[in-house]
Structure 1
Amino acid sequence: MTPPLHVRDHAGVRAVLADPRFAVPAVPEDPRPVGGLGWLRRTTVRFSEGADHDRRRAVVEGLLSRLDPADLRASARTRAREVPAEAAPYVPVEVLAVGLGVLPGSLAPIVPATRTVAAVYLAGAPADATAPADNAVGTLVALLPGGDPEEVAQRVALLVQSCEGTAGLIRGALAMVDESGLSGPGLPATEVLVAEALRLTSPVPGTRRRALPGAVLAGRPVAEGTEVVLDFAAANRDPTVFPDPDRPALDDPTPGHLTFGHGRRPCPASASATALACGVLDALLEG
């Protein structure tokens, strides 16, 4: 069996993400019915390739096009002022849920259900370990608008994929502020904090691809079927790209972090996620 290939440098990660000869790993067969975790995995854009991916991505982009990032930021700021500080990192899930059609009076189960699914969404856990996630997917499906099952799945996936990543981004930005010793007027703009937290804390630490026939990386062939592990956290600290890779560049951030991906399949929700995180941080850091 061919061992996994780990790619940690910025150029290598970009090359794999841009090359169609490196595909998203196939979703394992899952006998569970429509409305559960297996259905969600095999129906969402995250685990799709080819025509399925293109069609589902168009659905996601259509859903996101109805959400103004400025409105998301304002709503997140308002809601973050209303909840305990420990709950604030999950405010983006609530705000996004309302934007996707959940009635404001039905929000109580949204964060617990989303976190339950997010905990096993990418892990490939066995069926007996994911039964709670099946129920949680059902909860989210019931609360979101009905309609075409493929569109419903993309709504659920937007909540799930934004959950821990955005929460981690908010926590990372707060930790960076604590470590910097800056406060009040000395703090940089929230957008700068978020950009550097995306690079340094890598709330999405990486992803995987599978080599197809003819795959080549850095001039060397990669055997078909090789699992390719892309390390965003390491690439985001590549000293050939970032002049002082382990320190936050709060005065003049260097662009180019890979936390939102690159190439063929960049995250379609990057603007929304950034706006939501900024809104929460606006509230937590005000004053």
Structure 2
Amino acid sequence: MLITRHAEAEAVLADTRYVPPPVRQDGAEGTLAWLRAQVSRFSTGEPHAARCRLLTERLATLDPAGLRTEARARTKDRDGAWRGVPTEVLGAALGVKDTTAVPAAAAGYLSGEESPEADAAVAELLDLADLPAITLLLQGHAAVEGLIEAALRHAEPGDDIDALLHETLRQDPPLQATRRLDTRTGDEVTIDLVSANRDPAVFDHPERFDLTRGPSAHLTFGHGVRPCPAPAHALALAAGVLEGLLS
């Protein structure tokens, strides 16, 4: 079933009967498949709650304002070569000095596409960091870089960076769809985040990219029982890079 309306998407995301599609649990320890079976994003029930608590505790030690400042400084130092900056800044804040393996591991993190390169990258990261830190790095890598890419497509000279990011999240989300499994029927549900974020029942002139809209009821950071644990940190990293590029 495909959901495109905002209210229906909110209802699914707030209902505990809808869970992420299961991932395989028999991956060899230290591989991408094994890692996906250990993280909060693909788990349910008490394992999900316990893993989320670990992420929340780790995030509480990070200052979003400091992440923003460091991302801006590194972007300026590199004359605009911003790729990798958000991951490096987040890694340094988490105590992970080498984040070069993150892109290879992140490539199949959401899709589940396994490869020897992804497995090797996961093994390398496990030698450098614990699971909460790795989880945050992998979940943040593609999402933050995707947000920056999308914001740059819409950016104009003099734009307010925070307003630019808020409207980009609504109209051009880096993750365009999310899936859930109905535990009562076994049916899979796909939520079209682009359509839900442009629902005319919720957003005036939804196709217009409008920086005066401000923070809105978009669903890009999730909703209900499984919201993104780090929206402030993701926004800070993206804002810092954009300030380094556009200021």
Give the alignment's TM-score, normalised by structure 2.
Answer: 0.95
> Given the alignment, which residue of 82, 90, 93 partners 1:99?
93
Q: Deviations over 1:70-100 (max 9, x none)?
A: 0110011111112253x41421100000111
Instruction: Give the number of aligned pairs.
Output: 247
Shift of residue 119, structure 1, vs aligned partner:
1.4
- Secondary structure (helix, strand or coil) at the match of 2:106 reads helix
Aligned residues of 1:188 and 1:251 also touching (Cα < 8 A): no
- Secondary structure (helix, strand or coil) at the match of 1:165 reads helix
Shift of residue 251, structure 1, vs aligned partner:
2.0
Name the structure 2 match of 1:132.
Answer: 117
Q: Does 1:12 align with 2:4?
A: no
Aligned residues of 1:200 and 1:246 also touching (Cα < 8 A): yes
Q: Which amino acid letter does the alignment assign opposite residue 161 of structure 2?
A: T
- Whole-Å separation in 2 of the counterparts to 1:168 and 1:200: 13
Aligned residues of 1:89 and 1:170 also touching (Cα < 8 A): no
> Given the alignment, which residue of 177, 183, 189 partners 2:160?
189
> Given the alignment, which residue of 144, 149, 156 partners 1:166?
144
> Given the alignment, which residue of 104, 112, 132 partners 1:116?
104
The RMSD of aligned alpha carbons is 1.4
- Whole-Å separation in 2 of the counterparts to 1:137 and 1:246: 40
Q: Deviations over 1:128-186 (max 9, x none)?
A: x5211110011112222xxxxxxx22211111111111111111111101xxxx31xxx
Equivalent pairs: percent with the same residue? 43
- Whole-Å separation in 2 of the counterparts to 1:78 and 1:268: 25
Q: How does 1:258-273 map onto structure 2 within 5 Å? A: 258-273=219-234
Q: Could you say if the C-alpha distance between residues 232 and 195 of structure 1 is closer, same or farther in structure 2, counting changes exceeding 3 Å?
A: same
Q: Does 1:52 align with 2:13?
A: no
Aligned residues of 1:173 and 1:193 also touching (Cα < 8 A): yes
Aligned residues of 2:170 and 2:216 also touching (Cα < 8 A): no
- Secondary structure (helix, strand or coil) at the match of 1:240 reads coil
Q: Which amino acid letter does the alignment assign opposite residue 132 of structure 2?
A: Q
Larger radius of gyration: 1
Shift of residue 278, structure 1, vs aligned partner:
0.4
Aligned residues of 1:190 and 1:281 also touching (Cα < 8 A): yes
Aligned residues of 1:205 and 1:231 also touching (Cα < 8 A): yes
Please, which moves more after superposition, 259-268 or 230-239?
A: 230-239
Q: How does 1:210-229 map onto structure 2 within 5 Å? A: 210-213=181-184, 224-229=185-190
Q: What stretches of structure 2 of length at least 5 have no aligned partner? A: none
- Whole-Å separation in 1 of the counterparts to 2:5 and 2:212: 25
- Whole-Å separation in 1 of the counterparts to 2:22 and 2:167: 32
> Given the alignment, which residue of 244, 248, 254 partners 2:209?
248
Q: How does 1:11-50 map onto structure 2 within 5 Å? A: 11-33=7-29, 35-50=30-45
Q: Does 1:156 align with 2:139?
A: no
Name the structure 2 match of 1:202.
Answer: 173
- Whole-Å separation in 1 of the counterparts to 2:245 and 2:191: 33
Shift of residue 253, structure 1, vs aligned partner:
2.9
Q: Which amino acid letter does the alignment assign opposite residue 188 of structure 1?
A: D
Name the structure 2 match of 1:77.
Answer: 72
Q: What stretches of structure 1 of length at least 5 have no aligned partner? A: 145-151, 214-223
- Whole-Å separation in 2 of the counterparts to 1:84 and 1:30: 45
Shift of residue 47, structure 1, vs aligned partner:
0.6
Q: Which amino acid letter does the alignment assign opposite residue 56 of structure 1?
A: R
